[in-house]
Structure 1
Amino acid sequence: MTSPTSGAPLARRLGPLLGPLRRTVLRRSRDLAALPDLPEAQVELLRVLADDGPQSPSGLADRLHLARPTISNLLRTMTSAGLVDRSPGAGRAVAVSATGHALELLRRYDAASARTLERALGHLDAGDRAALAAALPALDRLLAALGDD
């Protein structure tokens, strides 16, 4: 008999949970903080800019594992919305940076996300919270392993 913690059964259970979990946290956080409806890809792009500073569009594409045309479309939309600025970089390069407005939205999103998760975690028993805490290092390693592929 196959163990529920072996690769295939675990993957079949984990995969379908990840998307709905992330979307629910994002939606509830937006509602809690009255934030604009920023798509998750925009939030991820802003997070990279907030954490690492200005980046080239190709650097963003590589970092986020997105196609360059996808990044171009994101940047066009985000520039129009006042979320990113583009400035000349070295040579013909362009440096993309998050605007102050975008950084404030990201700060509010992060605070609302933490409150949303704290509230939900409060509905779980101590054993479930301990299991989630114990799983965090494994989830970090899973993310790294997915990046290695």
Structure 2
Amino acid sequence: MRDAARRLSAQVGPFRRTLLNASRHEGELPTIPDAQIEVLRRLDEDGWASPTALGRSLGLARSTVSNLVAAVERDGLVERRLARGDGRSTEVGLTDLARERLRVYDAAAERVLLRALAGLPDADRAALAAALPVLARLQAAIAEPDGV
């Protein structure tokens, strides 16, 4: 298992970067740092959130979230508003531009993956499909080591 753990760890980052770069190229999208994409993805899933809640959900320090939010706001990907029910704090949410870029990226990633999968033998495609639930459980076990 130790060898499998090392190999999986060594493969995940390069796979993610390769898919990200190929999908950006396919979708003709600008380069956005991974950390900013994580902020956009979280907001896409959760909707409007305070920077504090965003940082908590991503496991990031307040100053890091502040810098990330400022960068994506500067690029027109998020906007701020006063928090509902609390006029003293703000929350951030996706702009239409961010939603469109995420949609384009997702469609491009699907095309990239489908092309690559089509070139694999049937047994490899079946093995990947069977591994997806295992990867989801592995991710949950890493995120919550005592809960799984």
What is the alpha-carbon root mean square deviation over aligned residues? 1.1
Superposed displacement of residue 74, structure 1: 0.4
Structure 1 match to 2:131: 135
Check if 1:78 corresponds to 2:35.
no
Percentage of matched positions with identical amino acids: 50
Structure 2 match to 1:14: 8
Instruction: Map 1:89-128; keep pairs closer than 5 Å.
Output: 89=83, 90-128=86-124
Check if 1:34 corresponds to 2:21.
no
The more displaced of 104-113 and 87-96 is 87-96
Tell me which amino acid in the other structure corresponds to 2:90: V
Tell me which amino acid in the other structure corresponds to 2:116: A
Q: Which runs of 4+ in 1 moved over 6 A?
A: none
Superposed displacement of residue 118, structure 1: 0.7
Q: Provide the rounded CA distance (Å) in 1 between the counterparts of 2:58 and 2:68.
A: 12
TM-score w.r.t. the length of structure 1 is 0.92
Superposed displacement of residue 108, structure 1: 0.3
Check if 1:24 corresponds to 2:18.
yes
The more displaced of 71-80 and 36-45 is 36-45
Deviation by residue 1:69-116 (Cα, 9 ceiling, x = unmatched):
111110011111001111111243211101000100000000001111
Superposed displacement of residue 28, structure 1: 0.4
Deviation by residue 1:20-51 (Cα, 9 ceiling, x = unmatched):
00000000001011101011222221111112
Structure 2 match to 1:144: 140
SS at match of 1:93: strand
Tell me which amino acid in the other structure corresponds to 1:32: E
Tell me which amino acid in the other structure corresponds to 2:107: A
Q: Provide the rounded CA distance (Å) in 1 between the counterparts of 2:45 and 2:100.
A: 14
Tell me which amino acid in the other structure corresponds to 1:111: A
Q: Provide the rounded CA distance (Å) in 2 between the counterparts of 1:120 and 1:57.
A: 38
Figure out how many residues of one structure are paired with residues of the other and give that number. 143
